[in-house]
Amino acid sequence: MALSEHLDELRRRIIYGLIGVGVTVVIALIYGRDLVLLIQLPLFQVQDFLGQPRSAYFFSPVAAFSIYLKVSIVAGLLLAIPWLFYQLWKFISEGLLPHEKRVVYVLAPLSSLMLVLGVLFAYFVMVPVCLLFLLGWAHTYPEPGAGSSVLERMIDTAGRPGVLDLPERREAEIADPGEDEPLFRIPLMAHDPAAPEEGQMWVKIPEGELRIFAGGRVNVYQAPRQGAMETFLGVDSIINLSLMLMLGIAIGFQLPVVLLVLGWVGLVDPAWLRRYRKYALFICFALGALLTPADPLSMIILAVPLYGLFELGLVLMHFFYRKRSGAEPSREEG
C-alpha cells in the first residue's frame, strides 16, 4: 500500500472514530443528569452507613451545568473506547503478519476488559472505601464542650450570647415540666409514607431528618451538626474524586496489557522480571498511595489487586514471549 493510501486510510479511520465519539457523547448528554446522580450513589451509601443525612451542594451558579458537561463527556469517551480500538485495529491490520494479528486478537479485547474491570472496581470498591475513611475521619474530631480543656470550652462558647452567665442562673431559667404534662411526639419512620397527607410530619431514620409534607411535596429539615468542624460536600469535589479514582485505576488495570506487549516484542524476558517480584510489590503499594487519597486501607485494597494483575501479566508475557522467541515467518511468507 502506497504512502498516500496509508494517509487516506488514517484520515478515514480518524473521521470514523470522531463520529463514534460524537454519537456516544450525545447519548451521554441525554442521560447526563442520571450519570451525575449515579456517581454520587457511593457517597449516599456511605452517608447512610455513617448515619449522616444525604447531602451534596453546588457552590457556584455554573457548577451544576459544568459538572453535567464533564460527566457526560468523560462517559461518552469511555463508551467510545471499544469503537476507537476497532478503528485502530482496522488501520494497522493491513500491515500485520498472520501471527501478529493473532496477538492483537488477544490484546484489544484484553485491554477493553481490563478498562471495564478497572472502572467497576473503582466505582464499587475504591470510591466507597475512600469516602468511608475520609468522612469517618472528618467526624472523629471532638464535639465542642465534650472535654474539659480550656480550648474546647472556648470553642464551645465563642460567639454565643450570654456565655458569661453563671451556671446557677442558666439552670434556674430552664423550665422543668411536670411529670403529668404531655409531650408532643413525632413518629420515627424508616421509610417515607406512600401517600402522606398535607401537614403530616415525621422523622426519617437513620438520617434524623424532620420531614413535613406541605404544598404537595416533602420538605426536609436537618438539625444543625454538633461537631467542632463539619464537611460541606460539594458535588464537584465528589465528582472529581470519583473520576480521578476511576481514571487512575483504569490505567493501573492496563498492567497485564503492558507486560503482554513487552513480552511480545521481546524487550523484557519474563524470567528476568520474575526475579524482581519484591520490587514489583513495592511499586504496587506506591501506585496504591498515588492513585488513592493515601489512607492505609484504600492503599492496601488497591495494591493487592494490582500485584495480582502483575502476576497475570507475567503469565501472559511468558506465553507470548515463548511464541515470539521461535522462528518467525518472513513477510513474504505472510
CB 28 within 8 A of CB 72: yes
Task: Tell me the C-alpha distance between 18 and 262, whole Å.
Answer: 29
Task: Tell me the C-alpha distance between 236 and 56, whole Å.
Answer: 9
Task: Tell me the C-alpha distance between 44 and 304, whole Å.
Answer: 26
pLDDT attached to residue 158: 47
pTM of the model: 0.68
pLDDT attached to residue 167: 47
pLDDT attached to residue 65: 93
Q: What's the average pLDDT block by block, 10 residues per block, for the chain (334 residues)? A: 75 91 94 92 86 80 91 89 80 70 74 88 90 79 55 49 45 54 75 85 79 84 60 84 86 85 76 85 86 77 90 82 48 41
pLDDT attached to residue 68: 93
Q: Say which DSSP state 54 is in.
A: P
Domain boundaries along the sequence of the chain: 3-139+233-325
pLDDT attached to residue 71: 92
SS3 278: helix
Please list the helix, strand and coil fractions of the chain in percent, rounded to the nearest 5, in that order: 65, 5, 30
Task: Tell me the C-alpha distance between 332 and 49, whole Å.
Answer: 65
DSSP string computed for 5-27: HHHHHHHHHHHHHHHHHHHHHHH
Task: Tell me the C-alpha distance between 163 and 191, whole Å.
Answer: 40
Looking only at the bridges linking them, the beta strands covering 217-221 and 188-189 are unpaired
